[in-house]
A and B are shown apart, each in its own frame.
Chain A
Amino acid sequence: MEAKYDFERKYREQILQCSKCGFCQAVCPVYGATLRPSLNARGKMLVLKEVMDGKIELDDELIETLFQCTTCASCFENCPSGVNVPDIIKQVRTDMVHMGSCHPAFTGMHDVLEKHPNIYAEDEPEDFDREHNKKAEYVFFVGCVGLYREDESTEATLELLDRLEVDYTLLDEVCCSGVLEDVGYELNEDLVHKNVDRILATGAKTVITGCPYCARTFNNKPQYKELKQKGVEVLHVSQFLKDFDFGVTTDKVVTYHDPCDLGRHCGIYDEPRETIHKIAPNFVEMRHNRENALCCGAGGGVRGGYPKNSLAMARKRLQEVEEAGAEILLTECNSCVHNLSNAKLRKQRFKVYNTTQFINELMDDAE
């Protein structure tokens, strides 16, 4: 029988490879927040098998099941059968969008990016009182969350770059639009061209991103290949900062949350820790760390589409901060900072920072 959907054509063997062992259930943040077996990777693969067998249709009734996934890749990391669930889910979402079935929040995100330069439909960006689009050695690319939700953290990151005398420029940047592929759409070509043209116009040979997802998009999506072709390297700020010496330390107990986009998706675990070890001798790991880190719950469009569950996932992560006895939780992603800060209860007295913001604060205190 000829496959009806692209996901079947591309991933049939992988879906059938799922042995239903349930290792994914133990690590799935969506299952952890909802306790619904249909929402973990095994449940999703069972549903897709039923679709491939023609027993159920890929329609609106499956939106709840198939669009509620942070694409954190914990399941893939722990799958003994090697089923690449995030890639399968993205393809299924694409198939559903082609058929007109999509979560309204994600349709909304797509429509917003047709009209506005960022996912929040904001038309007045924070300019951080710094020059934009000038000739410089580096471009600092902030990302939507850093521009419109965690601007204080971004301001601190820029202050740190100023202190380190980095020759950078900001851009009149627009959304990298990578998130659209997570939720069933394609990258927005107009936004891609604007970013590429504006980056190249600065003459910079390195782009430093504040957002791990933007770095992934620039480095991995073919739509941005011109950057590589023109010799422009893209680094996340944690990679850029690892060789600097900051000259400050803290006595506080510090822990680190691996963002999924930096860790499992890019394999960047050591650089953030190298920097933290320089400034925080009292560093402790959380129970789940590196490849096994729990997801904060913000990715894959889940923060926008299922905010209550997203915050519940973040609260599970924050329990591990308490267990570790940390006073400071550092991470390297504005989406993680945003979701974890929003989820933190008032009785939880630790503080949440991007590492850059924390270092900048230490330098402020030292002056």
Chain B
Amino acid sequence: MQIEQYNMPDELYYEENHFWVREEGDLLVMGMDDFAQIMAGEIVYIQLPDEGKKLKKGKKFAKVESGKWLGKVYAPVNGELVAVNEELETNPELINDDCYGKGWMYKLKPSDMAELQELIHGPDAVKEWLLVEIEKYAEE
């Protein structure tokens, strides 16, 4: 779904800090959404923690940096980090080029897949949320 200039695919789940999540078997794949990558500008660094890191829902587990902006990455669910996109170590701009594809960031093993349903999902919910976000950042 296109919301203003932002591409927000319907099938994805969204965490409120603008990271998307999708199911892949018993894992979750996670990355930055289009709104965030446009707001951030050229991404220059993504922290890629070691696999096995325990994740607590809502707690910071990594950082993303662009120019003069530093973003924190929060765990969308409880679980464990099982893979990272090592391509981003030397090509962080993949997030700007293809945030839902080659710019994926992390794969997580959730403790309870049902927690996925607590994220923002579905065209109406995503649109309602994003329009508020667009207004909020326009004020800043």
Contacts and interface: CB of A to CB of B under 8 A. Distances in A.
Tell me the dominant secondary structure on chain A's binding face.
helix
A304 B68 contact: yes
B48 A346 contact: yes
B42 interface: yes
A105 interface: yes
B45 A311 contact: yes
Contacts of A108: 68
Interface residues of A, number: 16
Contacts of A120: 68-70
B44 A311 contact: yes
Interface in B48-91: 48, 50, 65, 67-70, 84, 86, 89-90
B44 A307 contact: yes
A307 B48 contact: no
Contacts of A289: none
Contacts, number: 31
A310 to B, nearest CB: 8
B93 to A, nearest CB: 8
- Give the interface SS of chain B, mostly helix, strand, loop or mixed: mixed
B68 A121 contact: yes
B15 to A, nearest CB: 22
A148 B48 contact: no
A112 B68 contact: yes
Size range of the chain B interface in the assembly: 10 to 19
Contacts of A109: 68
B65 A304 contact: no
Nearest to A108: B68
A342 B65 CA distance: 9
A342 B88 CA distance: 12
A346 B86 contact: yes
A221 interface: no
Nearest to B93: A308
Given A346-B86, A346-B89, A308 B68 contact: no
Contacts of B70: 120, 148-149
Contacts of A148: 70
A345 interface: yes
A148 to B, nearest CB: 7
Nearest to B69: A120
A112 B70 CA distance: 15
Interface of B: 42, 44-45, 48, 50, 65, 67-70, 84, 86, 89-90
Interface of A: 105, 108-109, 112, 119-121, 148-149, 304, 307-308, 311, 342, 345-346
15 contacts: A105-B67, A108-B68, A120-B68, A120-B70, A149-B70, A304-B67, A304-B68, A307-B42, A308-B44, A311-B44, A342-B45, A345-B89, A346-B48, A346-B50, A346-B89
